Structure 1
Amino acid sequence: MSQKLNLGWLGAVAVAVTLSAGAQEKPADFTTQVPLSVTGDGPWYRLELPLAVQLSARQTDLSDVRVFNAAGDVQAYALAREAAKTDDNRTLTDVKWFPLYDAAGATGQAPSVRVQSNTNGTLVEVQPSSQLEAGEEELRGWLLDASAIKAPLRQLILDWTSERDGFQRFTIEASEDLQHWQSWGEGQVARLTFADERVEQHEIGLPGQSARYLRLLWSTPQSAPTLTSAQLVSVSPRSLPLPLVWSQPLAGSTGKAGEYTWQLPMDLSVERVQVELSQPNSLAPVTLWGRRDNSLPWQTLSSGLLYRLTQNGQDVVQNELQLPGQTVQQLKLTVDERGGGLGAEAPTVKFAVRATHLVFLARGPGPYTLALGNSTMKAANLPLSTLIPDYSAAKLATLGRAMVDGGAVVTPAVSTAPAASGIHWKKFGLWSVLLLSVLFLAAMAFSLLRKPSAKT
Structure 2
Amino acid sequence: MSQKLNLGWLGAVALGVALSAGAQEKPADFSTQVPLSVSGEGPWYRLELPLSVQLNAQQTDLSDVRVFNAAGEPQAYAMARATAQSAQDRNVTEVKWFPLYNAADDTERAPSVRVQSSANGTLVEVQPSSQLEAGEEVLRGWLLDASAIKAPLQQLILDWTSERDGFQRFSIEASDDLQHWQSWGEGQVARLSFAEERVEQHEVGLPGQSARYLRLLWNAPQAAPTLTSAQLESASTRSLPLPLVWSQPLAGSSAKAGEYTWQLPMGVNVERVQIELNQPNSLAPVTLAGRRESSLPWQPLSSGLLYRLTQGGRDVVQDELQLSGQTVQQLKLTVDERGGGLGAAAPSVKFAVRSTQVVFLARGAGPYTLALGNATVKAANLPLSTLIPDYSAAKFTTLGKAAIDGGAVVTQAAPAVAAATADTNWKKFGLWAVLLLSVLFLAVMAFSLLRKPPAKS
Interval of TM-score (by shorter of Structure 1 and Structure 2): 0.7 to 0.9
| 1:23 and 1:73 in contact (8 A); partners too | no
The match for 2:307 is 307
SS of 1:415's equivalent in the other structure is helix
Looking at structure 2, the residues matched to 424 and 72 of structure 1 have their Cα atoms a distance apart, in angstroms, of: 20
Looking at structure 1, the residues matched to 348 and 73 of structure 2 have their Cα atoms a distance apart, in angstroms, of: 41
Query: What letter is aligned with 1:78?
Result: A
Q: How does 1:228-247 map to 2 (within 5 A)?
A: 228-247=228-247
The match for 1:219 is 219
SS of 1:190's equivalent in the other structure is strand
Q: 1:364 to 1:23 in 2, by over 3 A?
A: farther
**Unaligned stretches of 5+ in structure 2?**
1-19, 439-457
Q: TM-score, normalised by structure 1?
A: 0.87
Looking at structure 2, the residues matched to 355 and 82 of structure 1 have their Cα atoms a distance apart, in angstroms, of: 8
| 2:69 and 2:75 in contact (8 A); partners too | yes
- Spell out, residue by residue over 1:299-340, the C-alpha distance to the aligned partner (whole angstroms, 9 max, x if none): 211111111111110010000111111211111111111111
RMSD over aligned Cα atoms: 2.2
Looking at structure 2, the residues matched to 139 and 300 of structure 1 have their Cα atoms a distance apart, in angstroms, of: 42
Query: How far off is 1:425 after superposition?
Result: 7.6
Looking at structure 2, the residues matched to 84 and 341 of structure 1 have their Cα atoms a distance apart, in angstroms, of: 31
Looking at structure 1, the residues matched to 298 and 409 of structure 2 have their Cα atoms a distance apart, in angstroms, of: 34
| 2:99 and 2:142 in contact (8 A); partners too | yes
Q: 1:426 to 1:65 in 2, by over 3 A?
A: farther
The match for 2:337 is 337
SS of 2:56's equivalent in the other structure is coil
- Spell out, residue by residue over 1:392-423, the C-alpha distance to the aligned partner (whole angstroms, 9 max, x if none): 00000001111112222211026114262799
The match for 2:416 is 415
| 2:83 and 2:241 in contact (8 A); partners too | no
Q: 1:86 to 1:79 in 2, by over 3 A?
A: closer
SS of 2:85's equivalent in the other structure is coil
Please say which structure displays the higher CA radius of gyration.
Answer: 2
Q: How does 1:7-406 map to 2 (within 5 A)?
A: 24-83=24-83, 85=85, 88-406=88-406
Q: 1:108 to 1:251 in 2, by over 3 A?
A: farther
Q: 1:257 to 1:263 in 2, by over 3 A?
A: same
The match for 1:454 is none
| 1:154 and 1:235 in contact (8 A); partners too | yes
Query: How far off is 1:86 after superposition?
Result: 5.8
| 1:156 and 1:232 in contact (8 A); partners too | yes
Looking at structure 2, the residues matched to 48 and 211 of structure 1 have their Cα atoms a distance apart, in angstroms, of: 28
Looking at structure 2, the residues matched to 201 and 136 of structure 1 have their Cα atoms a distance apart, in angstroms, of: 32
The match for 2:445 is none
- Spell out, residue by residue over 1:136-192, the C-alpha distance to the aligned partner (whole angstroms, 9 max, x if none): 111111111111111111111000000111111111111111111111111100001
Looking at structure 1, the residues matched to 156 and 22 of structure 2 have their Cα atoms a distance apart, in angstroms, of: 48
Q: TM-score, normalised by structure 2?
A: 0.86
The match for 1:16 is none
Looking at structure 2, the residues matched to 288 and 422 of structure 1 have their Cα atoms a distance apart, in angstroms, of: 42
| 1:114 and 1:128 in contact (8 A); partners too | yes
Query: What letter is aligned with 2:228?
Result: T
Looking at structure 1, the residues matched to 89 and 192 of structure 2 have their Cα atoms a distance apart, in angstroms, of: 32
Query: How far off is 1:87 after superposition?
Result: 6.5
Query: What letter is aligned with 1:149?
Result: I
Percent identity (aligned): 79
Query: What letter is aligned with 2:234?
Result: S
SS of 2:416's equivalent in the other structure is coil
The match for 2:450 is none
Looking at structure 1, the residues matched to 91 and 215 of structure 2 have their Cα atoms a distance apart, in angstroms, of: 21
The match for 2:455 is none
